[in-house]
Chain A
Amino acid sequence: MDKNYACYLCKGCGLGEALDFEALEEALEDSDISEVKDHEALCSPEGVALIQADIDGGVNAVLIGACSARVKTDEFTFGKEVLVERVPLREQGLWCSEAEYEDEEEAGEDRQMLADDYLRMHAAKLGKAEIGEPFQLEEDVEKGVMVVGGGVAGINAALAAAKAGAPVCLVEKEDALGGYLGKMAKLGPQSPPYQELQDTGLEELVAEVEAADNIKVFTGATVEKTEGAPGNFSVTLSNGESFRAGAIVQATGWNPYEAEKLADELAYGTSDKIVSNVQFEEKAKAGDLGGINGVAFIQCAGSRDENHLPYCSAVCCLVSLKQAMYVKEANPEAAVYVIYKDIRTPGQSEEVYRQAQELGVVFIRRGEDYPAISGSGPFAIETQDVTLNDTVEIEDLDMVVLATGMVPNNPSVVEPPLVALGMDQDEAAKLAEEAKAASDDWSVLNLEYRQGPNLPTLKYGYPDSHFICFPYETRRTGIYAAGAVRRPMRVTQATEDATGAALKAMQSTRAAEAGVAVHPRSGDDTFPDFFMQRCTQCKRCTEECPFGAINEDAEANPLPNPTRCRRCGVCMGACPERIISFTDYSVDMIGSMIKSIEVPDEDEEKPRVIVLACENDALPAIDLAAKNGAKWSPYVRFIPLRCLGSLNLVWIADALASGIDGILLFGCKRGDDYQCHFIKGSELANVRMSKISETLDRLVLESDRVRVEEIGFGEVDKIPGILDEFMETMEEVGPNPYKGF
């Protein structure tokens, strides 16, 4: 594109007094920007009008030196045809740099250098940015949604999508819809005053599905193959049917934790009167609960136990309360005991707990040890009673119910450790092979993805997602998990979950149609562009993309699927040939920003530190810290990255070679409880950093010069401390010997 530049500098918010505007203008001398204007308050209607008038006169590349790009977004957006680059002079220049100086003049000088640098850096980026066209699929974008699983979540997802206007294909492996809902006798109390058991409501739900003219139901069928990408999936079922889908909701529910595994601890299998909660429910449904005078429910049967299911299934407490109510309803005189570790009844479910107590159910708190069950009916139980601080015995029990937990009905995927990436290829292949062997060998969706047929999972087999921010997402764009396959949950929660996932699925078809990203970069219309001629087929991009966006073509070249892409730039960071770029984000652009920092000579004793910061959490935290009045060294320059995972090692080498003294990398928390918005980004950045030592050795530099820090948005207060400490380290290691070369 032919660019017609202009730069606008704001004198508001104290910038006018603090900075020398002539100097700022001079800083742009070596750039293509010759038109520089200033205004008392750029975000005011007059200021915006000033910019707009120039745009109307033909300006299409605008550099705005004012506040952070995270604020005043409405004011400084000028439509798709205009490139806008914001220079955060206020947050990262003015607010953070008022350190106490003996010498007023020197303070002014340091701050001016900071502002000049920022202006040059962002001008360099603007100089390389382009306006691109959003990606368009060759095929028509399909708006229909496939829902896999016809239980409570699946049915509700189908209904929600259909009501919102999307055609739905609902696939259920059994011969009838219902899933576990169909196996339940009753639901526990669902509405105030939370005292009455309720009907499951399945018949009404199924009738609603049958009445909907845009839901096609396939029962007795599973998914044989899913290929394509959001907006254009083609699905083949086991019954030979095939159809297109724009997005997918996986609502395959759960399986009970196998009570057989509790034979040693809880005598399961020694009598048909020692049953799991699922079996007890079946009995209740069959009307087979007569003649119970004594019953004990044993909570956390296998749950919250490192040897079995380490997590809490969050439903079995409520299920036992409900089942205790069944017994009390059939026989109010029955002695009903619930032997628990903790009763977990979140929210209004506490009322159900009360109701069970009112009915005379007795609750006994046990410790970690399982109660000992003896006899062959009637049974006796010996258990620790924490509230009596004693061991107690319960006799005359006609039945013992083991409250087992939920396991997701989804194959668990063990990913090869990330360190395998970029290491010796044979070793990496071996680790990948081992991981594959450890994964279950079945599949729900049978994805035709280079990265495997299944959704990547967390350690318990639940589909991986950024749990807090994007609950329904999986690591395969356009495929959303709902209900108990996502996390253990009960019927009401699964119903809500289904609606959420269905709407997300529909949203993703809309995004595919518009050629924009889904969360977390919703609306971003850039996408990675591969300069294929230089590709060496190293496969790092296909391996490292957290979302499996890149397949391989017949010649083993990477084959991007832009509608699967979340625009994190991890591929860009991974590519050793640096052939992957976005129109407004590339290895070259960030490299140019780094190179446009002016590095003072060693004898000036003004070190330079760059911070490559994740723009999802770290950058907002930095802005907020500055806003809250935190101060730090004026020798620090921040460069925003889409994700720390887009970090390309060449930036580090470039920076050190150009005399920058130190480099900090700010990313999100990694590991099991990761906070990375692109799931693997910060993890990958760390793996890459572990290899940086080679570069440092080659340059004969100290490893202290590069450091990775995890910053959450809530950790605003940590920022000045980290920066101060790093500056001290820089003082200790001394100036970068490459200065001036």
Chain B
Amino acid sequence: MATKAYDKSFREEVYDKVDAGEEIKLCMQCGVCGITCPLRDEMTYGPRQIWSLIRAGKRDEVMNCSDIMLCTSCYTCKVRCPRGVKVIDVMHGLAHYALQEGIVPRENTSKFGKFFWNSIYKTGRIDETEVPMRYSMRRGPIHGIFETLEMMDIGRALLSHKRMHFKLGPGIPPSKKIKGIKGLKKMLDKAEAMSPGKEA
């Protein structure tokens, strides 16, 4: 039985508002992206089928699908796509667009993304201790302590190799800022204002 009629409004929304959204017009459904993706076993649809869903107008399926936040930016699909579709750009574009629309397809990823982004925005760098600490505390300090204990071995190894520095807790001591952080913030604000759906 036919599920739902093809509807052009969602694909047009994607072409207009999603970063790199128009790219998917050129997809010929070969499936190379889906099959080369290292996360294919985790994904419900994979990029190829997500494009199909967009074309068919299945907004809910796409926007709520965790696939769009699972992309690890490995670039394999983008390199291999015979049509030159910037697959990962669209995946990130969709994730971003979903958040913007108030939809959170994958809670953890979106939180991690937020701490990651905040670290860059505030200090101009990724603080390798600060970001994981904040992430593990995302559900409160008790949960954070347990999660940190679980990761203790890795943490120790990272410390001993100077891949991480010691902190008492998030912001103690505060992360160092880069020089010219003000300029960077300005740039990021401007980019934000220029992103699809925001201009004019």
A residues lining the B interface (CB < 8 Å)? 335, 337, 343, 353-354, 357-358, 360, 362-365, 380, 382, 385, 387-388, 390-395
B49: interface (CB < 8 Å): yes
Check A358–B53 contact: CB distance below 8 A.
Answer: no
Number of interface residues of B (CB under 8 A): 21
Contact assessment for A392 and B2 in the assembled complex, using a CB-CB cutoff below 8 Å: yes
B52 touches A354 (CB 8 A): no
Judging by beta carbons under 8 Å apart, are A394 and B29 in contact? Answer: no
A sample of 21 cross-chain residue pairs with beta-carbon separation below 8 angstroms, ordered by A number, consists of A335-B6, A357-B25, A357-B27, A357-B28, A362-B6, A363-B29, A380-B5, A385-B56, A387-B29, A387-B48, A387-B52, A388-B53, A391-B1, A391-B2, A391-B3, A392-B4, A392-B6, A394-B5, A394-B6, A395-B5, A395-B6
Interface residues of B (CB under 8 A from A): 1-6, 8, 11, 15, 25-29, 48-49, 52-53, 55-56, 83
8 pairs of A and B residues whose beta carbons are closest in the complex: A393-B2, A393-B5, A394-B6, A387-B52, A387-B29, A395-B5, A335-B8, A357-B25
Could you tell me if A365 and B29 are in contact, using CB atoms closer than 8 angstroms?
A: yes
B56 A354 Cβ-Cβ under 8 A: no
Are A393 and B4 CB-contacts (below 8 A) given A387-B52, A388-B52? yes
Which residue in chain A gives the minimum CB-CB distance to B8? A335
How long is the Cα–Cα vector from A362 to B11 in the complex, in angstroms? 10
In the complex, the chain B residue whose C-beta lies closest to that of A372 is B2
Query: Nearest B residue to A361 by beta-carbon distance?
Result: B25
Question: By the criterion CB–CB under 8 Å, are A357 and B26 in contact?
Answer: yes
Residues of chain A contacted by B6 (CB below 8 angstroms): 335, 337, 362, 364, 392-395
Which chain A positions have C-beta within 8 A of B83? 354
Which residues of chain A come closer than 8 Å to B27, judged between CB atoms? 357
The docked-state distance in angstroms from the alpha carbon of A337 to that of B7 is: 11
Chain B contacts for A395, CB-based, 8 A? 5-6
Q: Is the CB of B52 within 8 A of A360?
A: no
CB distance from B12 to the nearest CB of A (A): 8
Q: How far is the CB of B79 from chain A (nearest CB, A)?
A: 19
Q: Which residues of B contact A385 (CB under 8 A)?
A: 52, 56
Which residue of chain B lies nearest to A334 when distances are taken between CB atoms in the complex? B8
Q: Is the CB of A388 within 8 A of B49?
A: yes
Assembled-state Cα–Cα distance A360/B53 (Å) = 15
With both chains docked as a complex, state the minimum distance between the C-beta of A701 and any C-beta of chain B, in angstroms. 60
A654 to chain B, nearest CB (A): 61
A365 to B4, CA, bound (A): 17
Residues in B with CB closer than 8 Å to A354 are 26, 83
**Considering the chains assembled together, what is the distance between the CA atoms of A595 and B83 in angstroms?**
66
Q: B26: which of A358, A365, A388 is its contact (CB, 8 Å)?
A: A358
Complex alpha-carbon distance, A392 and B25, angstroms: 19
Q: Which residues does chain B contribute within 8 Å of A388, judged by CB atoms? A: 49, 52-53, 56
Q: Which residues of B contact A362 (CB under 8 A)?
A: 6, 8, 11, 55
Q: A382 contacts B48, CB within 8 Å?
A: no
B7 to A: closest C-beta gap in Å: 9
Closest Cβ of chain A to B136, distance in Å, is 39
B2 touches A387 (CB 8 A): no
Contacts of B4 in A (CB 8 A): 392-393
Query: In the complex, are the beta carbons of B5 and A390 less than 8 A apart?
Result: no
Cα distance A427–B5 in the bound complex, in angstroms: 61
Pair A360/B25 contact, Cβ less than 8 Å: yes
Closest CB-CB distance, B139 to chain A, in whole Å?
Answer: 37
A178 to chain B, nearest CB (A): 35
From A337, A360, A365, A382, give the contact of B2 (CB < 8 A). Answer: A382
Complex: how many Å from CA A365 to CA B49? 12
Instruction: State A490–B6 Cα separation when bound (angstroms).
Output: 32
Residues of A within 8 A of B11 (CB): 362
Shortest CB–CB separation between residue B9 and chain A, in angstroms? 10
Closest CB in chain B relative to A193 CB, distance in Å: 14
CA distance A357 to B29 in the complex (A): 12
How many Å lie between the Cα of A365 and that of B56 in the bound state? 12
Chain B minimum-CB-distance residue to A354: B26
Minimum CB–CB distance from A409 to chain B (whole Å) comes to 34
CA distance A364 to B56 in the complex (A): 9
How far, in Å, is A335 (CB) from chain B's closest CB?
A: 5
Q: A354-B83, A380-B5, A388-B56 are in contact. List 15 more A-B contacts (CB 8 A).
A: A335-B6, A353-B28, A354-B26, A357-B25, A357-B28, A362-B6, A382-B2, A385-B56, A387-B49, A387-B52, A391-B2, A392-B4, A392-B6, A392-B56, A393-B5
A365 / chain B contacts, CB cutoff of 8 Å: 29
- Chain A residues with Cβ below 8 Å from B2 are 382, 391-393
B contact residues around A360 at 8 Å (CB): 15, 25
By beta carbon, the residue of chain A nearest B12 is: A360
* Complex contact B25–A343 (CB within 8 A): no
Nearest B residue (CB) for A365: B29
Closest beta carbon of chain B to A389's beta carbon, Å: 8
**A335 neighbours in B (Cβ, 8 Å):** 6, 8
Q: In the assembly, what is the distance between CA of A388 and CA of B4, in Å?
A: 12
A380 cross-chain contacts in B, Cβ below 8 A: 5
Q: Which residues on A sit within 8 Å (CB–CB) of B56?
A: 385, 388, 392
CA distance A11 to B44 in the complex (A): 75
